[in-house]
Structure 1
Amino acid sequence: MLRHSSDVDSIGATQSTLNEQSVNNGGGKPKIYDAVVLDAALRQSLVSIRSLGKRGLKVAALEAENQVPAFSSRWCQQGIVCPSSAGTAAYLNFLEQWLERSGARVAIASSDSTVALLRQHRERLEKHVKIALARDPAMGIAINKELTLDVARQLGLGIPRGATISSVDEVSAAVKEIGLPAVIKPVESWLWDEQQGGGARFASRLVTTADEARRAVEELTQLGGTILFQQFLTGRREAVSIMYANREVHASFAQWARRTEPQLGGTSVLRQSIAVPQDIGAQSERLIREIDLEGYSEVEFRRDQAGIPYLMEINPRLSASVEIAVRSGVDFPHLLYQWANGEKIDKVRSYRVGGWMRYLKGDIMTTIEALQKRGRPGITPPGQAVLGFTLSFFQPMNYDYVDWNDLTPAIKASTEFTFEWVGGAIAKRLSRIKRSSL
């Protein structure tokens, strides 16, 4: 039987279990969900569940793990635990079976692995559900940094100096051309591993020596991916989020990140809503229109020391920082749902600026990183990092996970992090004791 509220399906769900769910609910009719939010462990997924639930929509959530704070949200009517990892064939089969029996109208995904899976099997899944993602070829351009930068170059946007390389043998030439320190990033963040039946996500790396560059390239090309070797920019990081459909911009929102985790190219853990800057606002809209990238997207820029913006990338899925937009008056998850479901999309013409949002766990981790990697380019000096972290407690702001009308997810997230922290510290201590006794 389908369960409601914070009930969670067993991780051992089987075909017979799914069949039983479909026939033992309301006279043999499957329960109709307005939306299923995939990747439920992510912050933006909890934001989506709350956003849609508060509007009276019936929302289910799916994740490949059990301890997920979003499952405990008052707005999550069913939590589904998939017994297989995201991005795998088994995950796809489980999802398809659940969609066939649940009647969910819209699926919202936010992780690279799930987005890649949905793209690859879109035709198959759309027999059961509407997928809230842009279609190809626009999607293929947006997730590929090299293709995105090519379009931006043609439009006259500022892009970092860079070189494309595919093997360690090309590192020396790239170092000579771009210089050090430099940023090494995969052209596509998610790469499929056909042998393992899944894939892997690769993040950007800062390298300061040729040896570091060679090691990073060797690791990032292990699945055959291509690498961007780019100049290192240290200025302010800003992003413009856009809801675009039917050749019309329905909402725009801008924020800047004071701190990110990790400090280079990571997710924002302390950010502020700002009015859309004239330069990157116009550039973002031109880029989205040129690609014809429908749905939600976040266009990221990094300014140099002179304040000139350079395009970093496009994230064509709900971003981890989207809650600040929702709190400021731009409900992107609901706009995304309206678009995917074929409804009239609201127009958002203004929002509140100056509001702060903090992801405390991430802020703790980025402060620790500042202590561990002191002296490296782009890393905040330890004293400044600790002072900034402390002073943020005295600044009025909202916190990720914390909703006074839905506190259980915040409590669960805090408890989980505390146990991870304590457990990790104990494990390290025991490991040192063991080594010293040998």
Structure 2
Amino acid sequence: MVLDANQRASLAVVRSLGHHNCNIITADEMPSALAGASRYSKLYQQYPSPKTQPDAFIQWLKTAIKRHDINMLIPITEISSQLIVMNKREFANCIIPFANIKTIMTLANKWNLVKLAQQYDIPVPDTTHYANSGQLKLTDINEYPVVLKPDVSELWLGDQWLDTGVHIAHDRHELELYLEKPYFRNHSFMVQAFIPGSGAGIFTLYDSGEPQVYFSHQRLREKPPSGGVSVLSEARQPSQALIESSEKLLKAANWHGVAMVEYRVTPEGKAYLMEVNTRFWGSLQLAIDAGIDFPWLLYQISTGETLNGELSIREGQRLRWLLGDLDHLYIVMKSSKYSLMQKLGKLLTFIALPDGKTKHEVNRLDDLGPALYELKHYFK
């Protein structure tokens, strides 16, 4: 069963495993969902919200596993994956292809990650940790901008989840405003130096502490254009330096499963560790198209199969999320930051003929259901 079926990463998992003749049930808290529209989804189910009804969600899963004889659960979002791993004993006869919750929080908790990185001399931004905003004196901050990071992206309160967020304060006034947010007022967080530069990621799969494969990509267009979700990306060979840093962390944690290690690289080329996502990532389909089929590889190691042969990356393979790219274009056209010539260039790039190395993330001729589903909901 693949959960969080309205995520594009969920669709990538469903298509990957469907191509390998797995029988797949999809599920989400919504009445219908993107991956549920795939021809590889044999059945779609709606469950209680894991965020606001965590106990009902766990009970629903227990019933569904028994009713449908499910042998593996694959959650996609941070909330559902952590909630399931926290309750792993409830699913004793079902494979959960993740590390245990203690191992996950070694990496997913950003303060734990900073301390681990420092042990292995992996560069991190200058960091100060606070139990809550009451501990921070505004006079402690001498240089702006600064980055405010809650210890965790999703905060478990014991009976429900609280969304948090990372914020960049450019001056004292912004800092004061952000510190009023409940996840800073009442919970621990970090203040980090802002690192100029661009993002870089290492995507990987580990089997009981041992690396199986690494992958990387470059973002070519994002939504919004200033930085955000990738709408056009290209497969690249991963940097050896970033592989070495990532390997130190993941081996130290005895990692198992997939992970995305995020860095910020300065204009001078120095890479600073930012965070580790302990689950599948948004542009997963690009890795699959480029020859690194992470969902199938995870399935194989989770069922005791041996991975066969060398895996090679088809460098230059591209992935385009068409409707996300349309949003990118719309934002550019509305913005006063771009000249007429820049806007014309963006338009010509958007309508350019296919180049033979770009695949659409959602729109696939052999599985049109998700594209029709997305289009229908896009214009609602």
Q: TM-score normalized by structure 1?
A: 0.78
**Structure 1 387/373 Cα, relative in aligned 2: closer, same or farther at 3 Å?**
closer
- Please give the alpha-carbon distance, in whole angstroms, between the structure 1 residues aligned to 2:222 and 2:129: 26
1:239 to 2:239 alignment: no
- Please give the alpha-carbon distance, in whole angstroms, between the structure 1 residues aligned to 2:182 and 2:301: 36
- Please give the alpha-carbon distance, in whole angstroms, between the structure 2 residues aligned to 1:370 and 1:45: 29
Instruction: State the 1:368 CA deviation.
Output: 6.0
Give the secondary structure class of the aligned counterpart of 1:319. coil
Instruction: State the 1:248 CA deviation.
Output: 2.5
**Structure 1 60/410 Cα, relative in aligned 2: closer, same or farther at 3 Å?**
same
Structure 1 residue aligned with 2:375: 414
- Please give the alpha-carbon distance, in whole angstroms, between the structure 2 residues aligned to 1:129 and 1:348: 29
Counterpart selection for 2:152 from 156, 176, 188: 188
| Count of residue correspondences | 373
CA offsets per residue over residues 291-338 of structure 1, 9 Å max, x none? 111111111111112111111111110111111100100000111112
- Please give the alpha-carbon distance, in whole angstroms, between the structure 1 residues aligned to 2:327 and 2:114: 31
- Please give the alpha-carbon distance, in whole angstroms, between the structure 2 residues aligned to 1:292 and 1:62: 30
- Please give the alpha-carbon distance, in whole angstroms, between the structure 1 residues aligned to 2:328 and 2:130: 30
Structure 1 residue aligned with 2:233: 271
- Please give the alpha-carbon distance, in whole angstroms, between the structure 2 residues aligned to 1:37 and 1:306: 42
Can you give the 5+ residue segments of structure 2 that lack an aligned partner in the other structure? none
Counterpart selection for 2:83 from 107, 110, 117: 117
Residues 191, 225 of structure 1: 8 Å contact kept:
no
Counterpart selection for 1:200 from 162, 183, 190: 162
One-letter amino acid of the structure 2 residue matched with residue 107 of structure 1: L
1:364-403 mapped onto 2 (5 Å cutoff): 364-365=326-327, 381-383=337-339, 386=343, 389-390=346-347, 391-394=349-352, 396=355, 397-403=358-364
Residues 37, 60 of structure 1: 8 Å contact kept:
yes
Structure 2 residue aligned with 1:214: 176
Residues 273, 355 of structure 1: 8 Å contact kept:
yes
Give the secondary structure class of the aligned counterpart of 1:183. strand
- Please give the alpha-carbon distance, in whole angstroms, between the structure 2 residues aligned to 1:128 and 1:321: 31
Structure 1 residue aligned with 2:103: 138
One-letter amino acid of the structure 2 residue matched with residue 98 of structure 1: A
1:2-401 mapped onto 2 (5 Å cutoff): 36-86=1-51, 88-125=54-91, 127-169=92-134, 170=136, 172-176=138-142, 179-194=143-158, 197-219=159-181, 221=183, 224-261=186-223, 266-346=228-308, 348-365=310-327, 381-383=337-339, 386=343, 389-390=346-347, 391-394=349-352, 396=355, 397-401=358-362
Give the secondary structure class of the aligned counterpart of 1:107. coil
Give the secondary structure class of the aligned counterpart of 1:243. strand
**Structure 1 180/60 Cα, relative in aligned 2: closer, same or farther at 3 Å?**
same
Residues 329, 350 of structure 2: 8 Å contact kept:
no
**Structure 1 238/117 Cα, relative in aligned 2: closer, same or farther at 3 Å?**
same
Aligned-pair Cα RMSD in Å = 2.5
CA offsets per residue over residues 357-381 of structure 1, 9 Å max, x none? 222344444566678898xxxxxx4
Residues 171, 213 of structure 1: 8 Å contact kept:
no
Structure 2 residue aligned with 1:18: none
- Please give the alpha-carbon distance, in whole angstroms, between the structure 2 residues aligned to 1:58 and 1:128: 17
- Please give the alpha-carbon distance, in whole angstroms, between the structure 1 residues aligned to 2:107 and 2:177: 27
- Please give the alpha-carbon distance, in whole angstroms, between the structure 2 residues aligned to 1:39 and 1:385: 38
- Please give the alpha-carbon distance, in whole angstroms, between the structure 2 residues aligned to 1:207 and 1:388: 33
Residues 255, 273 of structure 1: 8 Å contact kept:
yes
CA offsets per residue over residues 248-301 of structure 1, 9 Å max, x none? 321110112234445677433332111111211221122211111111111111
Residues 109, 132 of structure 1: 8 Å contact kept:
no
Instruction: State the 1:57 CA deviation.
Output: 0.8
One-letter amino acid of the structure 2 residue matched with residue 186 of structure 1: P
- Please give the alpha-carbon distance, in whole angstroms, between the structure 1 residues aligned to 2:162 and 2:305: 35
- Please give the alpha-carbon distance, in whole angstroms, between the structure 1 residues aligned to 2:185 and 2:156: 7
Q: Larger deviation: 141-150 or 77-86?
A: 77-86
CA offsets per residue over residues 70-108 of structure 1, 9 Å max, x none? 111110111111144546211111111111221111111
Residues 38, 370 of structure 2: 8 Å contact kept:
yes
Residues 250, 348 of structure 1: 8 Å contact kept:
no
- Please give the alpha-carbon distance, in whole angstroms, between the structure 1 residues aligned to 2:111 and 2:149: 11
Residues 9, 76 of structure 2: 8 Å contact kept:
yes
Give the secondary structure class of the aligned counterpart of 2:202. strand
- Please give the alpha-carbon distance, in whole angstroms, between the structure 2 residues aligned to 1:369 and 1:42: 22
Instruction: State the 1:247 CA deviation.
Output: 3.6
- Please give the alpha-carbon distance, in whole angstroms, between the structure 1 residues aligned to 2:102 and 2:345: 43
Residues 242, 253 of structure 1: 8 Å contact kept:
yes
Q: TM-score normalized by structure 2?
A: 0.90
Residues 243, 294 of structure 1: 8 Å contact kept:
yes
